[in-house]
Chain A
Amino acid sequence: MEKNNKEVKYDGKPFEHEFDGIQELNNAVPPWLLYFWYITVTFSVIYVAYYHFLGNNVLQDAEYQKDMVVANKNVADQKASSGEMAMLVLNDDANLAAGAEIYKTKLCVTCHGNLGEGNAIGPNLTDKFWINGKGLITDVFEVIKNGVAAKGMMPYKDQLSEQQILQVSSYVLAKLQGSNPPNAKPPQGEMVE
């Protein structure tokens, strides 16, 4: 039979007993592993204190609010430096090409069709009928910027700068209007000559 008092004594030597032929040594725990353990415990104590007991106000809601204050200030500075924008249709090629690009990449195509012909969701943009406003650049700009919640048109003010909204509005008015694409959706809204 085993002598249990022997079990605690040896280091680096096998126990007397074995399990299905498996022997156990009793080496010391590697010191680096022990130190690592102490470091993680210390880290944890400091972590809890830093977040919850030292009044640092760094929990997630506060972190978010601080982030937003900084971001809003940066955006406001940016806007202030760029100045007022004239509400005119941009007829030059560069701006129209930029508008066409936005029209395709910002999913305008999903509801208004590749050629602006409209589909089950969104109205035809190529005819002379308008649901919101009278087809002025300011009307189109307003619809894209703030959306028409009741009709499912989403606002793009968080995705596009005012300059970009003007570019895509210009594309709608200068390029899509009167283009007479195939499969156009029947007119909706009021006719504006």
Chain B
Amino acid sequence: MEHQYFSYDNKIVRYFAFATVLWAIVALLVGVIIALQLSFPFLNLNWEFISFGRLRPLHTNAAIFAFVGNAIFCGIYYSLQRLLKARMFNDKLSWIHFWGWQLIIVAAALTLVLGITTSKEYAELEWPIDIAITLIWVVFGWNMIGTIIKRRVKHMYVAIWFYIATFITVAVLHVVNSFEIPVSMWKSYSMFAGVQDALVQWWYGHNAVAFFLTTPYLGLMYYFLPKAANRPVYSYRLSMLHFWALIFIYIWAGPHHLLYQSLPDWAQTLGVVFSVMLIAPSWGGMVNGLLTLRGVWDKVRDSAMLKFMVVAITAYGMSTFEGPMLSLKNVNAISHFTDWTLAHVHIGVLAWNGFFTFAMFYYLIPKIYNTKLYSEKWANVHFWLGTTGILFYAIPLYWAGITQSLMWKEFTADGYLAYPNFLETVTQIIPMYHTRILAGLLYFSGTILMAVNLYKTVAVGKCVDNEETSAPPLAKLEPKRIFGETVHSWLERKPVIFTILALVAILIGGLVEIIPMMVVKSNIPTIETVQPYTPLELQGRDVYISEGCVECHSQMVRPFRSETERYGEYSKAGEFVYDHPFLWGSRRLGPDLARAGVPGGKVNKPVAWHYNHFVNPQGMNAQSIMPAYPWLIKKDVDVASTPAKIRVMQTLGVPYPEGFDKESEQVLLAQAQTISDELKTAGIDIAPTKEVIALIAYLHRLGKDISLAPPVPLPNLTGEENSENTGEKVAEVPPSEAKILFDKNCIVCHGKLGEGNAIGPNLTDKYWLNGGTRENIVHQIMEGKLEKGMQPWKNAFTKEQVDLLADYVIQLQGTDPHPARDPQGELVE
């Protein structure tokens, strides 16, 4: 048959390769910097743009999306063309893809250091960048599928199955997890709240690992390993089985990030069992890779490239066994929130992704430059630097994680926590943190050595930007299965049907877990006393998000005695219904803050304590590793943004009364003034508009609502009938119109029971700021008192409604709720 002549585009491959090396250096360097900051907190330099909370997401994003992302594209652009015997579909799309992706990375780096973040792990970027990612991802997919359609090879090789699964799954994950409503150009709120947001985020987060760090690399492995070793792939049958099993099962495992947390038990169980069932399909890839090397193990001894590959594949096997083990509830109870998880993910990225990328470069850079690697010896040194770096990283952090967790859980014989002061458990593991710095430097120096080695190689050779080649054209394909053709073999030549089937496979798990969480109300039992944040607290929450507090502090007390003793009542699903986004966190470098606002609670601190602690944490506790936040007392909250934020929250279903946005600025200032006044009594003079005031207001709200709720009765554990609990239910009285009005409009400032809160006064005592007669109350409702934050309601209510409310307030008198705000104004008997 006549051959067609065409060329492979190597230029795009080399651009992606250079970008990979550049971003690898950046990601590793930032990693070393934040490791140094954990050991020596003064290295945060009191400068907001390099504070740990902002650099840590920069490190993870650079490692995953910049380093690994570019490596994926480099490997796919190289292997796809050769596996399909076709040039990339469209060169313009290739270059839009390349430059678009680099621009996204630069935008990500800039916004993250500026404190612009959604706080959702590995999805921190704000909405304009989310849209850009979607567009560029579509360009990538379009280019890839276009190339597949115009291929000259009948069947799609297994590597391409993995590329297709990567493309469609990442698209679905990214789009759904980015559902958010913009407040302004660089601020949005997640459309999901609390438990739902947590589930969607970890469905995304876990599968970012699966479909960004795993499936594309399995695809790359299936190309570069047999090429480098010059051996046939061990088993086509195994490829087929493990591919479909892997993509179907992986998507279910997300809830294992939320074990023992406020996620319904059924969802946690799904997370556990699908993680366990994931071991064999994951190992399918490792087994197929390692057995492909049968007969050429002697080559591994000599070739740095093959050594990198073998360690990468072995680390993949170890990680995919460790992951399911960490998903068992009894192991997770120890490992979660500790450095164990960090050791686990670093083995994944440094050994599996990093080492495989390095092997790929040692293979393809000399190939496209038509020369030999400058120094095989340097590549060997690189291998040992990298390997020791990984070991120096992982082993001390396993040690640190287990040590810290056991210290958190230890009780004395008298029944007290052995280490009630959280800081003791941090100080204990600081030596391990020092070791991590060394580990990072080892791995980093290896990468630099590779960069120099590749540079020298490139300098000698010349890149064949358009590699001429030829292949016979693809004969016309039968649309139907031909006699004797297996279903899968047929599928391998039907890319569109293949893609649709893969899409179905990855959608099932997500739908089964997420849809019930959205529609079945019993998954998130309502807690009556939980109310929306006040405007000041909402602004404070945004400061908390912006500074990356969630990188080190969880807001999730798990139902363990060691945690309820340390922090207070364990967290309930109903507490988070107004949390857009959720802020449960995934690591405790500092103590949990879910109960920071419970008055008189175990972790409640006075406002002056917080103020001094933000300014100089080491002044309070010499060994604290928290960065100082001096800019919080200098920068003002953007008070003018409050109404827009309130309106977005209303759109998302947060029940602020209608028109509350207009009053929100005054309400904010009134509450800020009370905190500023309180600080003044401690000798601290600060304007009420400063960020620190809002942040303290937010911290003092955490857990406060649930502390007002009646205690939950103990479940019946003995199995015996308990006569008190089995009594007939009290008939529910429908609420009066007055109560409905009050609940809808007044409780934000006066509390559910009229007990008052940080904004509005107590309505149940005998003290009145503006007179206590019925006429006074009617007047107050009608005309308001704007300077105090009380808005006039005469346009919102009819005269009858005002009368009903006034009567309702009079009925509240003397109801004596607990706790209640201290009396204000004059006593009226």
Contact surface of A with B, Cβ cutoff 8 Å? 1-2, 4-5, 7-8, 14-15, 17, 19-30, 33-34, 36-37, 40-41, 43-44, 47-48, 51-52, 57, 59-69, 71, 74-75, 78, 105-107, 110-111, 120-121, 147, 149, 151-152, 154-155, 158-161
Contacts and interface: CB of A to CB of B under 8 A. Distances in A.
Given A36-B280, A48-B269, A62-B717, A71 B415 contact: yes
A19 B157 contact: yes
Interface string B789-809: 000000000000000000000
A17 B236 CA distance: 12
A75 B715 contact: no
Given A44-B277, A48-B269, A106-B420, A8 B484 contact: yes
Interface stretch (B197-205, B584-592, B605-613): B605-613
The 5 A-B pairs with the shortest beta carbon distances in the complex, nearest first, are A152-B606, A5-B484, A149-B600, A75-B415, A44-B273
B485 A19 contact: no
Given A57-B717, A120-B608, A71 B269 contact: no
B612 A33 contact: no
Contact of B223 (A15, A22, A155): A22
Contact of B232 (A8, A14, A20): A14
Interface centre among A20, A151, A161, by most chain B C-beta atoms within 10 angstroms, is A20
Given A25-B232, A26-B236, A121 B277 contact: no
Contacts of A5: 483-485
B265 A60 contact: yes
A26 B279 CA distance: 22
Contact of A20 (B83, B155, B239, B277): B83
A17 B260 CA distance: 51
Contacts of A147: 600
A26 B417 contact: no
A37 B417 CA distance: 42
A160 B238 contact: no
Contacts of B83: 19-20
A67 B561 contact: yes
B732 interface: no
Interface centre among B280, B287, B560, B684, by most chain A C-beta atoms within 10 angstroms, is B280
Interface centre among B420, B482, B483, by most chain A C-beta atoms within 10 angstroms, is B420
6 contacts: A22-B227, A25-B234, A41-B277, A51-B265, A57-B717, A65-B714
B620 A110 contact: yes
Given A25-B234, A40-B277, A121 B682 contact: yes
B192 to A, nearest CB: 23
A60 B559 contact: yes
Contact of A161 (B291, B414, B424): B414
Nearest to A68: B561
Contacts of A66: 717
Nearest to A74: B415
Interface in B64-89: 79, 82-83, 85
A106 B82 CA distance: 66
Interface in B601-619: 602, 604-609, 612
A23 B232 contact: yes
Contacts of B277: 37, 40-41, 44
B375 interface: no
B186 interface: no
A45 B313 CA distance: 30
A47 B612 CA distance: 50
A24 B236 contact: yes
B260 A60 contact: yes
Given A60-B265, A161-B416, A24 B273 contact: no
Contacts of B561: 64, 67-68, 71
A101 to B, nearest CB: 13
B599 interface: yes
A47 B271 CA distance: 12
Contacts of A111: 606, 609
B284 interface: yes
B611 to A, nearest CB: 8
A140 B733 CA distance: 48
A126 to B, nearest CB: 18
A174 B632 CA distance: 41
Interface string B261-292: 00001101100111011011101100100010
B489 interface: yes
A22 B288 CA distance: 14
B416 A59 contact: no
A151 B65 CA distance: 48
B413 interface: yes
Given A4-B485, A28-B237, A121-B608, A155 B560 contact: no
A89 to B, nearest CB: 22
A35 to B, nearest CB: 9
Contact of B602 (A20, A78, A158): A158
Contacts of B233: 22-25
A161 to B, nearest CB: 5
A120 B621 contact: no
B154 interface: yes
Contacts of B268: 60
Given A64-B559, A107-B621, A120-B608, A69 B717 contact: yes
Nearest to A62: B715
B633 to A, nearest CB: 14
A29 B235 contact: yes
B184 interface: no
A44 to B, nearest CB: 4
Contacts of A33: 280, 283-284, 287
A13 to B, nearest CB: 9
Interface string B716-732: 01000000000000000
A134 B164 CA distance: 76
Contacts of B559: 60-61, 63-64
A79 B227 CA distance: 71
B508 interface: no
B263 to A, nearest CB: 10
Contacts of B391: none
A154 B604 contact: yes
Nearest to A157: B416
Contacts of A151: 606
B237 A27 contact: yes
B736 interface: no
A40 B277 CA distance: 5
A106 B416 CA distance: 13
Contacts of B560: 64, 67
A120 B682 contact: yes
Contacts of B817: none
